[in-house]
């Protein structure tokens, strides 16, 4: 199972979600490959925002990676694509080359039964508190996504 997490710049939310999904999968002994990307080109080649790294580290997540932009190949090579917010969800749906590709795209927090339909807030212009809040909403969505995969027999 290959999962792609997507936000705008691929330096705050999507790398943190990637780390959270990877940790939840390891805890469940589920074999998944996780990557992240952005719909925008703003930060290509950059590492994660230091505040994302630090907020993740505070709860035991290793937030790593290099920012990249979503490609058409991603729609073929990933089994599940999760967007951090509605704007990126719609951008991904517009980019998707087929109905089959569109069917792979979901809002990340839909996997958290207590927060379905809600977005992972973008902390980019915020404070350390905003980054901690971002992690707080990512963790249950990551666990819910892994639970969903387990129930589906992945």
List, in sequence order, the alpha helices (H) in the chain.
13-27, 50-57, 72-77, 86-95, 99-102, 128-151
Extract the tokens encoding 40. 């925008």
One of 13, 22, 51, 109 is an active-site residue; which one? 13
Q: Is 7 a catalytic residue?
A: yes
Q: How far apart are CA 78 and CA 149, in angstroms?
A: 14
Q: How far apart are CA 142 and CA 102, in angstroms?
A: 21
One of 35, 85, 110, 122 is an active-site residue; which one? 122
pTM of the model: 0.97
Q: Is 13 a catalytic residue?
A: yes
Residue 145 has pLDDT above 90, yes or no: yes
One of 7, 12, 109, 110 is an active-site residue; which one? 7
> Hey, what domains does the chain have and what are their CATH numbers?
2-151 (3.40.50.2300)
| Neighbour-count burial of 147, counting CB atoms closer than 10 A to its CB (0-12 exposed, 13-18 middle, 19+ buried) | middle
The full length of the chain comes to 154
Residue 44 has pLDDT above 80, yes or no: yes
Q: Is 31 a catalytic residue?
A: no
User: What pLDDT, on a 0 to 100 scale, did the predictor assign at position 98?
Assistant: 98
Q: How far apart are CA 117 and CA 6, in angstroms?
A: 16
Q: What confidence tens digit (pLDDT) does each residue in 89-130 have?
A: 999 999 999 999 999 999 999 999 999 999 999 999 999 999
């Amino acid at each position: 199972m290959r999962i792609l997490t997507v936000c705008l710049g691929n330096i705050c939310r999507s790398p943190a979600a990637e780390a959270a999904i990877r940790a939840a999968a390891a805890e469940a002994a589920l074999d998944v490959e996780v990557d992240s990307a952005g719909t925008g080109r703003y930060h290509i080649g950059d590492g994660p925002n230091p505040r994302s790294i630090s907020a993740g580290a505070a709860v035991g997540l290793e937030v790593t990676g290099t920012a990249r932009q979503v490609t058409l190949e991603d729609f073929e090579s990933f089994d599940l694509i999760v967007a951090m917010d509605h704007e990126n969800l719609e951008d991904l749906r517009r980019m998707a080359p087929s109905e089959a590709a569109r069917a792979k795209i979901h809002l990340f927090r839909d996997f958290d039964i207590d927060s379905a339909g809600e977005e992972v807030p973008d902390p980019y212009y915020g404070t350390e508190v905003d980054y901690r809040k971002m992690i707080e909403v990512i963790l249950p969505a990551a666990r819910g996504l892994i639970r969903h995969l387990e129930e589906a027999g992945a």
